[in-house]
Amino acid sequence: MSSTPMPRSVGPYKPLRKLGEGGMGVVWCAQDQRRPERLVALKVVSAASLGSGDDSARRFVRESRILESLRHPNIVSFYEVGVHQGQSWFAMELLSGQPLSAFSARPWPALLPLFVQVCDGMEYLAERAIVHRDLSPDNIFVVAEGGGPRAKILDFGIAKVTTAQETIHNFTRTGLLMGKPPYWSPEQIGMLREGESLDWRSDLYTLGVIFFRLLSGSLPFEADSPIGFISLHLAEPAPPLAAPEGNPPIPDSVADVVRRMMAKHREERPASYREIGDLFRAALRQAGVEPPALPPGAEASPPTAATVVPPTRETMPWKDDGEPTLATGPMTAGVTRGVVTRETRALTGLDEHEPTVALSAERPADGARAGLGRRSRRRALLLSGAALAAATVLAVGTYLLLREPAPSSAPVPAAAGPRAPAPSAPPGTLALTALPWGTVRSVLDDATGEPVPLPRGLTTPLRLDLPPGRYRVEVASGVGPETRRLVVEVRAGQTRVETVQFVPGDEAVRLLD
């Protein structure tokens, strides 16, 4: 991507220096010309990342206003949004501090106060049905504020608005993966069934990976390629969490909740960020460390018991060697349909009859805050281009056993008489992805030729539960006329992963620039 020249002004702001540039646009340190003493992080969003047409620009402004409405001490502040010479922009709080990655491998009592604050901020977002989708240790910043360190969540940029009809199969134009491979959740890789949506529990998994890395000094899953991370996130249990040599042992309660955060099936993860934060607070109190105060309006859950060994020493910060992320550059998030009040409509500029967005603070009765808007096009999301292409080739034909077949009960001698019908075999799962993306035209039973009923416009990534057997699958490229046909074997209780490569990785990068 070519370097963008510095404009003389953007709305009421005067850019002073470039902070960074990526697939979503450019971030400038800018001066508010109405208040010259105030400096902001100004994001000028590329037109390509928004899509085409006036509707995209209006949607950007409306969705950015959702972010303007967020008020929490552990979330970066958004000031205002506008359009300048056809380019959309928004101004954010300019932070000065260190990314959370700089605190890796410190003793757990030094880390948990920061983790508690992150959980508080994520609970606030989850209650508003906002899904971050790109958490990493570099997207959480630690600043000096209020007499101590304060963690602030950033880089969750343009909130996407979904309706009740938007699920895993239509929330994305490109079918590309968001975020960074070491922190992907199983759901982000496409492990959602028809009708299911990405929700707050995806972020919770990612946060578990982050906490593991910070507490232990290393990632729970190490791989040399994106497909390696895909396999590990889908099938490999997280290893035991242990403190680095010389650090005090991590309490069992803390290690257990971090492990549960990384459960492959989201139903097995903790019920809320509040639950995790309360457990961390209890562990800190038992160690004689005063935890951060609850945010205003929050109610404490009943205290959780924890076995704690007091700390013995501090360690030096460990520099994160992952891909650097700007401390000011927002990325994509998701907002799902929900309760929208008259005041919310006024705040966001929603038309009275327009599809609504969920800004309700009420948690659904079943605890499932679901939803994710269409993913923006970002070069960074395509990973390393050619490297992903090579990884994709390796993915074709790969079997990942996400679920063990249901154990069969011991046979029971039957009395003489008519034999009962044998129980049917459990279904298997076909997980299909494409580079850069594709549309599934048909899935046929190879034995009978009968088509499997599918929704129209079904796009990758997708997950289909199918009876055991052979299937003929036809996938059309999302960027050209090419069509691929696959023959796949689906086995009972197992997941088969297939990846179709339509274009080389570097060509896919060009398509998304």
Query: For a pLDDT cut of 70, what percent of the chain falls above it?
Result: 64
Question: Please, where are the H alpha helices in 154-307?
Answer: 200-216, 226-235, 252-261, 273-286
- The DSSP code for 136 is -
pTM of the model: 0.63
Whose tokens are 């079918």? That residue is: 175
The ranges of the chain annotated as CATH 1.10.510.10 are: 97-287
454 exposed, middle or buried (CB, 10 Å; 0-12, 13-18, 19+)?
middle
For the chain, percent helix, then strand, then coil, each to nearest 5? 25, 25, 50
pLDDT at 320: 36
Whether domain 428-501 has CATH 2.60.40: the reply is yes
Q: Where in the chain is the domain with CATH 3.30.200.20?
A: 13-93
**Whole-number Å distance between alpha carbons of 434 and 437:** 5
**Token digits for 418?**
């008519």
- From 134, 138, 278, 320, active-site residue: 134
Quote the Cα angle for 51-1-334, to 5°. 40
Which CATH architecture fits 97-287?
Answer: Orthogonal Bundle (1.10)
Alpha-carbon gap, residue 269 to 122, rounded angstroms: 15
Residues of the chain with pLDDT under 70: 1-2, 22-24, 46-63, 156-178, 194, 296-423, 504-513
Architecture field, domain 13-93? 2-Layer Sandwich (3.30)
Q: Evaluate whether 395 touches 463 at the Cβ level (below 8 Å).
A: no
CA distances from 8 to 12, 15, 16 (A): 11, 7, 9
SS3 437: coil
Alpha helices in 368-457 (DSSP H): 386-395
- Per the prediction, the chain carries an average pLDDT of 72
Question: How far are the Cα atoms of 63, 131, 160, 199, 354 from residue 358, in angstroms, in the given order?
Answer: 11, 12, 11, 13, 13
Active site residue 134: yes
- pLDDT digit string, tens, across residues 94-136: 999 999 999 999 999 999 999 999 999 999 999 988 888 889 9
User: Which residue ranges does the chain devote to CATH 2.60.40?
Assistant: 428-501
> Whole-angstrom Cα distance, residue 385 to residue 381?
9
**What tens digit of pLDDT does each residue of 141-175 get?**
999 988 889 999 987 544 443 333 344 333 333 33
- Burial-class residue 496 by CB neighbours within 10 Å (0-12, 13-18, 19+): buried
Q: How far apart are CA 303 and CA 49, in angstroms?
A: 45
Q: Do residues 498 and 486 make contact, with C-beta atoms less than 8 angstroms apart? A: yes
